[in-house]
Structure 1
Amino acid sequence: MRAPIETSKVLDRGGSPTVRELLSSIVFNPSNGMISLNGDRIVMQRTAVSSLLRRELTRMLGTHETRIFLMRLGFLSGQSDARFVRASWPNLDARDAFTAGTRLHTFSGVVRVETVFNTYDFRKQKLTAEFLWHDSAEAAEFRSSNRPSPDPVCWTQLGYASGYASEFFDTLIVYKEVECAGQGHSNCRVLGKHADGWGASDPEVALFRERIIATPEPASSGPIRKAGVASGEQSLGGLDRVLLAPVRTQLDLLAPMALPVLVSGASGTGRSRAAGYLHNASAVHATEMRRIFGAQVDLELCMEIARPGKSAKRKAGGETILIDGVENIPAEIQPQLVRSIEDGILGGGPRIIALWDESRTGSPGLSTELRSALSALTIRVPTFAERAGQRAEIAIELLPMIAGRMGVESPALDNSATKWIEEFAWPGNLHQMRGVLTTVLAGHAGKNRITGKEIAAQLSRLADPPAIGGQESAALSPLLDNLMESQTFSLPDFEQSIYRVALERAGGNLSAAARLLGLTRAQLAYRVNGKHEKTA
């Protein structure tokens, strides 16, 4: 049995500022009701508030998105605290300032941090660390209710530790919780490493790079714009900025209007991004945007849409409901939704943004009445085939995002690669471009630029390769040149590579891959020698 922890050891352990010094820096001013820590205002609240927030977020967003939200919140908080320590104690040794994170974390009351080991080198941007977290506030709810979680639950604290360390190392440091009291362990155990130390394909590192640390680009300089539009501008990343360029003027015009918007176009053109921009640019204090898939629209949602809001004169900036795949709304529900949308407009209900895939046909489809109710404000996002002169620019913005997810350095495109990308029509739009660039990056070696031959080799696997310069079968020529030079061409191997690419594009689904190739499932299964027979 472990001996009780001596309070003095916790209060005075480590360098400055110690927990005792942090305590002495707290001031409560009864005249204005403010609490400050070394001059910065802080607030005090019960842990039940955080538990309630977590439950409400999970109810509205689901577990996955809630985890991302809380980890990002923790990451930003950790970064902020690192800057606070540097500013408040400017003469601190860098090592003390860095390790102050563990003391500040303990001082916050959310967990008691015990260092197992913490080895680091600021100059080389290297870190390996292990900590035990005792009495975690995030894990307490699961532990006390005797309903252990199947996965670690200290999401905000993981984000905090990663954000604090990343700020000091000026590179991404990722902490993982390998044991959690919320799972039934005696305490929480976390490991920290430089992002690259976890491996190029690590899913948690990819999550951090794509969702946790991704920050919007600053708003462009120029004349002062309306607050809502400026907010939408700040929400745009580089890829969004390029994808939405053809419809930005329309988006800025429609964003402040508290009316339904029908966003049409094919899958992969950027319709969801357009909807997100509309919501973010609708007002300064926009709340949440709920995503509902068309097949899930029911009478209960219709009643919610029709229910009067807090004010009959509703202003943009309230709740937004995004209906994804409006053409899939059950036919018997569509007339009720039409009436609900009309009642919601008059009564101050939520704003409706509907995504319509105009290329989809068949039942139930979008009725004339529902289309009329939604299409007073309409935006059509053009396909990549209609975006001549812009396709290479999209690829240039997309490439670093894919490379970051894969954990590799992003190479540039040479002139011939840019030409291949620009000349291809990309019937699958962004999804197809992402798939091709991902495959190219996976096989790209070294730090040299991506060449036209690499792009052409992947495009040649598609059903409709481009013809550059009017030369027949130009898409296959570079590939065949390479094969002839290597003198190792094997038609069976080439066929197998086509089957593998089809399976990759279909996410491992054998039936979907067979449809891409114009084969039956049994034919494809036979041709890949039964290796994927168990694939759904």
Structure 2
Amino acid sequence: MTKLRDKLRADGDDLRARVHFCADTGQIWLHEHRMLLVHAEAQASLRKELIDTLGMARARGLLLRMGYASGVRDAELVRTRMQDLSDIEAFMTGPQLHALEGIVRVVPVRLELDRAAGDFYGEFLWENSWEGHSHRRQFGIHEEPVCWTQIGYACGYTSAFMGRSILYKEVECAGMGHDHCRIVGRPIEAWPDADEHMRFFAPESIADQLIDLQTQVVQLRSTIGEKDKLPADMIGSSPGFRAALDLLKQAAAGQITVLLLGETGVGKELFARALHDMSARRDKPLVAINCAAIPHELVESELFGVEKGAYTGALVSRPGRFERADGGTLFLDEIGDLPLTAQSKLLRVLQEGEVERLGDDKTRKINVRLVAATNAGLPQLVKEGRFRADLYYRLNAFQIDIPPLRERREDISLLAKHFLAKYAAINGKTLPGFTDRAKRALTTYPWPGNIRELQNTVERGVILAPHGARVEVEHLFLARGDDDAHEFGLDRDGKLDDRGPDAGKAFCESVCDGAMTLDEIETMLLETAMDKARGNLSSAARMLGLTRPQLAYRLKRLSESAAPAAAEAGDGGR
């Protein structure tokens, strides 16, 4: 054990090197996991309140489970070091982390383990136990061991490390009046009274009841409001998304033509399908067509149908998309790419409610609700003569703007979690989630490809992440080398950019050396933010950490200071 302790002291330096403090962001990182530095007295007060509120037994179970979850997370970090260490050295990373986190100093007394065979026996001393001493101060000497969070941590860490359930017992405890704490860990089946201890690791029955009630509520909602059921990938709680969804629900009640506007990948087809499913036409077909994906010479036959012999190659008569959607909904995506000849015929179909196949002189009555979508500016296309004004006004009866993902920051985590569960099931993997740094990367990246890009990124992360581990930054942004990724906290290797402080220092030195002035820096920041936000004051203000009035004031001051300079330049010219 003496040699092991000497080795642990050396390994401790490596662990400490993985701890990073960032005063600028107010974050502490241990490898890819975000940590918190909490006052011990505040934690002790919370612990006391739990005991006073829930009672000793329920508080014990809650704190055990909390410690267990923390131990499992630390075991994930150990996986990044195991290839360079023996099993015992790798295992002792957990006790070192417990000490590094300020919980307790762990001194190994006896440790025997064989991961391949599943054998384990561990005996450790705990010195300076935070939990034991705080319990003793608040409640006095206790008859039973009280280091519940710490024993939960040991069980969670060792179970995750060994790949089997390991149960620890605290045979001596500072809360019982002992000088130190002593714990012994063995496989669960080696303890004859294991059931008595393991019951505390199971969620309380009240939690199960709440989950059952929640399930029943979901089932009731699904049966009562089946017509309001949304596609599974249509998730969000941001104001912009909710506003668009509210408009969609209002439009679903009628028959009005709907125009969906938004960037590529925001989910326009999902909105169209949701509109159809919520409408009275949901039992009839929804037919979708991408106008940009069809050659111009075939667009009319695809939309309106064709009679046999209408042109070379028309060997049989067939209905168009309008006829196939009769009674239901027709979704025309990328309608801005529709050729002018097809636009005029489309306008007539919408006005008359009837279609005429190519090569036919007979008209057919149709009853179709039209939903159109585009990521192009139709008013600009009208000005350029590439889109008919009368068709635009016909289509623009009810417009819904779907916000890009960069304006739905609060929805990114919800969507990422949904896609993680979806693709983990498809790939047969069990993944507990994302690391804290991966979560930060997901929420700071601008997502130019919107939800489609997020979906593809998470799917790649699921494929690359090891079974049972969390998805890390490099799994998500494996080959990311674009400038946008770098600007939003990801370096050219797709990782969180840790060079921020150095870059900031160089920036400050350039100001102090006279290369730039503070006014010039402010001007550059304001102009860059406005460009990125495409003139949207609220979005630009969020980028700069300002309120909208604060940004408006600074822009006004900037324009006022620029006016005299322009005037002086004009006088000099004369």
| Structure number, greater radius of gyration | 2
TM-score with structure 2 setting the length: 0.38
TM-score with structure 1 setting the length: 0.40
